[in-house]
Structure 1
Amino acid sequence: MLILIAGITGFVGIPCARSAFARGHKVRGLARNIDNLPQDIRDRLEGFETMTSLHDIAAMDRATSGVDAIICSFAALPEIAIESQMMLIRAAERAGVKIFHATSWNYDWTLSPGSHELYDDMRAFSHHVAISSTIKPIYMFTGAITDYYFKRSPYDWDPDTKTFNFHGSSTFPTRYTTAEDIGEYVVEAITAPDAANGGFVRVQSFEASPEDIVRAYNAARGGRATAKLNCLGSLKDAETKLNEGRAKFGKSGFWNYLRYVYQYHIPSRSWDYEPVDVARFPNVKQTSLEEYFRRNPDV
């Protein structure tokens, strides 16, 4: 199978490429800068199309030509997740592609409208595609992406002090999926016999509370480093900070309060789901939290 990965240079696109290669598939990339790809992926690509802008329809048409499936791993930014992804699915229609995995890796964004600015965009995209496209995308719910929490969000994990910040109970479990496991699940989903039927897929790697994170981190480091917890307040405190942020910054300033969206709504179970599709993909070995820390000594 020839798979196009749009946004291949991102932290979801890269593991999707490696998973596809491991299964013997060919991969074509679409992104703004091939230099952001690790050399092991660049060397194996069937081809690469460079996007000169977020609205580069010509590049999308070239990239979708002749492929069997598309994984859209564009960044979860409004102008990309809605506008660029919609242009990509139109290019897929023109190319006759039937299998399309949309940007979607989060908690269940079909629930609790108005609770998360980007979730509203994902829901709007899925609705518009459902009523206007011949393609039936695959959408995957993964809970929190482990690599985002521990590598890209200093508000959650302080890499210098090895401190995990949270609101609410230290024993409340969050659903997590590692980027590596997402790559495995995605390629399994797009190569399944019913992939062209699309639909929602619900998976995870593990569940872990803040206390579980400290225990797993300390065990993985074997005494060489020690994690600790920092409770930032109650769920009510998180809700108050979220409401104050929305009032101060407005929707266009959502990045200023996005951390409180998660820190309030995840433990409030606003978007919770059951990972019922894990059993559908027995070839995916779920990564444990301790294993994740062992594989990522830089965390």
Structure 2
Amino acid sequence: MLVLIAGITGFVGLPCSRSAFARGFKVRGLARNIDNLPEDVRSRLEGFETLSSPYDVAAMDRATKGVDAIICAFAAVPEMYMESQLLLIRAAERAGVKIFHATSWNYDWTLAPGSHELYDDMRGFSHHVAVSSTIKPIYMFTGAIAEYYFKRSPYDWDSETKTFNFHGPSTFPTRYTTADDIGNYVLEAITAPNAADGGFVRVQSFEASPEDIANTYNAVREGRVTAKLNCLGSVEDAEDKLNEGRAKYGKSGWYNFIRYVYQYHIPARSWDYEPVDVARFPNVKQTSLEEFFRGNPDV
């Protein structure tokens, strides 16, 4: 099987590539810069196409030629979610590809329209493709991506002070999926017998409240370092900050207030789902919170 991973240099694209290699598949990459790939991935690629811009149709046509399945892991920005992904699915149509896993690894963005600026783009993409394309994409709901929260979002986890910031009750659990588990779930989904039928997949690695995070982190680090909790206010406070941000910055300034979108809507259960499809993929071993902290000593 030859799999194209668009956005292969990203923190979802990379684990998808390693999961594909582990299954003996060939992998072709599509991204801005091959130099951003670690050597263990770069050296094993069947091929790589350089994306000169989000609208590089020629590169997309070259990348999709002859592949059996496509995983779109483009960056989390509106232009890539909507425009680049749509151009890629048109290239897939021209190439005759039937299996297409769309960028989608979040909470259930089919719920609560208008609650999240980028979720609305995902919803818009899925609707447009449903009414205009012969391809039926796979969409996967994973909750929060653990690596994003603990490695890329200082508003949630302050790596210097080892402080977890949150709104609402300290006992409310968030759903998380690790990047490695996402890679394995995605490869199971695109190789399932009904993969070309597309649809929505709902999975997770673990659930954890702020208290769970602090207690587990401290147990794993065995006193060498201590995690702290910082409650920023109530769920209603988060909603107020979100509304203030939207009023001040408008939709195009979404990056100024997006943290409050999550800190309000997750505990408000606006996009919650049940991970009912975990049982469909018994080959994926769910990573626990403890295993995540043990496997990421830099967190």
TM (norm. structure 2) is 1.00
1:149, CA displacement in angstroms?
Answer: 0.2
Q: CA–CA distance in 2 between the matches of 1:123 and 1:175? A: 20
- Whole-angstrom distance in 2 between the partners of 1:211 and 1:90: 46
Structure 1 residue identity aligned to 2:255: W
* Aligned amino acid, residue 136 of structure 2: K
Q: How far off its partner does 1:6 sit?
A: 0.1
Following superposition of structure 1 onto structure 2, how do residues 219-230 of structure 1 map, counting pairs within 5 Å? 219-230=219-230
Deviation at 1:121, TM superposition (A): 0.3
The 2-side partners of 1:22 and 1:106 are apart by: 25
Aligned to 1:213: 213
Residue matched to 1:8: 8
2:234 is matched with which residue? 234
Percent of residue pairs identical: 83
C-alpha offsets along residues 4-52 of structure 1, whole Å, 9 cap, x if unaligned?
Answer: 0000000000000000000111000000000000100001000000011
1:141 aligned partner: 141
SS in 2 for 1:17: helix
In the alignment, which residue of structure 1 is the partner of 2:196?
196
Which letter maps to 1:108?
D
Letter in 2 for 1:62: R
- What is the DSSP-based 3-state SS (H/G/I as helix, E as strand, rest coil) of the residue aligned with 1:30? strand
Question: Which whole-Å CA distance do the structure 2 matches of 1:290 and 1:39 have between them?
Answer: 29
1:127-170 CA-to-partner distances (Å, cap 9, x unmatched) read 00000000000000000000000000000000000000000000
TM-score when normalising by structure 1: 1.00
Aligned length: 299
State the AA in 1 paired with 2:290: E
Distance in 2 (CA, whole Å) between partners of 1:89 and 1:216 is 42
AA of the residue aligned to 1:76: A
Cα distance in 1, alignment partners of residues 222 and 36 from structure 2? 33
**Unaligned residue ranges in structure 1 (runs of 5+):** none
Q: State the alpha-carbon separation in 1 of the partners of residues 125 and 232 from structure 2.
A: 34
In the TM superposition, 1:1-299 aligns within 5 A as 1-299=1-299
Residue 84 of structure 1 and its aligned partner are, at CA, apart by: 0.3
Q: Secondary structure at the match of 2:186?
A: helix
Aligned with 1:211: secondary structure?
A: helix
Q: CA deviation at 1:221?
A: 1.0
Deviation readout 1:180-210 (Å, 9 max, x if unpaired): 1000000000000000000000000000000
Displacement, 1:222?
1.4
Match for 2:271: what amino acid?
A: W
**1:279 deviation in Å?**
0.2
The AA in structure 2 aligned to 1:241 is K
Distance in 2 (CA, whole Å) between partners of 1:287 and 1:222 is: 20
Q: Can you list the C-alpha shifts for 1:206-247, whole angstroms capped at 9, x where unaligned?
A: 000000000111111111111010000001100000000000
d(CA) in 2 for partners of 1:237, 1:110: 25
List, as ranges, runs of 4+ consecutive aligned residues in structure 1 with deviation greater than 3 Å: none
Cα shift readout 1:50-88 (whole Å, capped 9, x = no counterpart): 011110000000000000000000012110110000000
- SS at 2:176 equivalent: strand
Alignment-mate amino acid for residue 185 of structure 2: Y
